[in-house]
Amino acid sequence: MTHFSDTLKTWRKMRRYSQLELAGEAGISSRHLSFLEAGRSNPSRDMIGRLGDALELPLAVRNQLLSQAGFAVRYPHRRWDSEDMAPIRAAITHTLKQHAPYPAIAIERH
């Protein structure tokens, strides 16, 4: 099982931030960030939001961090074929059609 501290450290390294840089972006002390990554301190919901904003994390990862820290998820998961995604599907279809006669591709990054 992956812990909050491991996930946070992994994403910080993937975004190529030092602890000092990320702490500055999130508006916290580097010592507090170090304690969060070491598991010596527990984050609040607000702290997870600030770190997610600073690291520009996808909503699914923010939900993962929230659940790892013992909180309920905040961002709902929507299926591509669900009714509330209809405007998104229509916008993508419209954008792809506007590229005609040139080819265009819409790719899900996962």
Residue 47 is encoded by which pair of tokens?
Answer: 């702290």
Residue spans per domain, the chain: 4-68
| pLDDT tens by residue, 58-105 | 999 999 999 999 999 988 888 888 898 899 999 999 999 999 999 998
In 3D, which of 68, 86, 90, 70 has the Cα closest to residue 78? 86
Query: So what's the architecture of 4-68 in CATH?
Result: Orthogonal Bundle (1.10)
- Give residue 14's pLDDT: 96
Q: How far apart are CA 83 and CA 21, in angstroms?
A: 41
- 84: DSSP letter: G
Specify the 3-state DSSP secondary structure of 42.
Answer: coil
Residue 72 is encoded by which pair of tokens?
Answer: 């309920």
- Angle at which helices 4-14 and 59-68 pack, to 10 degrees? 150
